Amino acid sequence: MRLGIYGGSFDPVHYGHLLLAESCREQASLDEVWLLPAAASPHKQGHATASAKDRVEMLRLAVAGHPALVVSTIEVERGGVSYTVETLRAVHAARPDDELFLLMGADTLADLPKWREPGEVLRLAIPVAVERHGAPPPDYQAIAGFVTPGRLHAIREQRVEMPVIELSATDIRERVRAGCSIRFRTPRGVEKYIETQGLYR
């Protein structure tokens, strides 16, 4: 199986997240995409404002009915700070025959060398850096020192483009706090969950 791994806070999940997952599934010919909400992101500690349980439930509502988009609770169940290398090791150990692809925005690829054990991350999974129309292309030279030329070529081959969609979880949280509409920024089920659970207020 060609398995996409897409981690994040998803606080809350919105259409930008879902469009990235679906663009990668289609253009990189992935059999499944796993969305993995972090227990605690190493880059956003102290920023999450919905519980892990709520973020998992919102993701499940968002992908309901899509057989190839799967919510995985590996990182939530492990607890603590969620490091990508640990997640990839766990998935690889459980599914050694699957080919793993790590989904991310093109801008994230430049930061990958600062992650924990970047060489191991790049050995376990091929990053799929999503290009947004009009934005700078991914900087593959940033990771060139961690992979063989053949592996770098394989990474460059995974070209995925998606439309520009200017949404952010931060903006959605701020709109909820301000009493503004979040309609059409996130799936209706997620919108109603935020409302009924009183999140972000």
Every domain of the chain and the residues it spans: 2-165
**What does each C-alpha distance from 168 to 17, 84, 85, 157 come to in angstroms?**
9, 21, 25, 28
Pairing of strands 2-8, 99-105: parallel
Nearest by Cα to 99 from 19, 155, 142 = 155
- Return the CATH number of 2-165, one of 2.60.120.10, 3.30.930.10, 3.40.50.620, 3.40.50.300: 3.40.50.620
Q: How many CB atoms lie within 10 A of CB 70?
A: 16
**Model pTM?**
0.93
pLDDT of the chain, 201 residues: tens digit per residue: 999 999 999 999 999 999 999 999 999 999 999 999 999 766 555 555 899 999 999 999 999 999 999 999 999 999 988 899 999 999 999 999 999 999 999 989 999 999 999 999 999 999 999 998 777 889 999 999 999 999 999 999 998 999 988 899 999 999 999 999 999 999 999 999 999 999 999
Task: Output DSSP code: residue 142.
Answer: G
CB 102 within 8 A of CB 127: yes
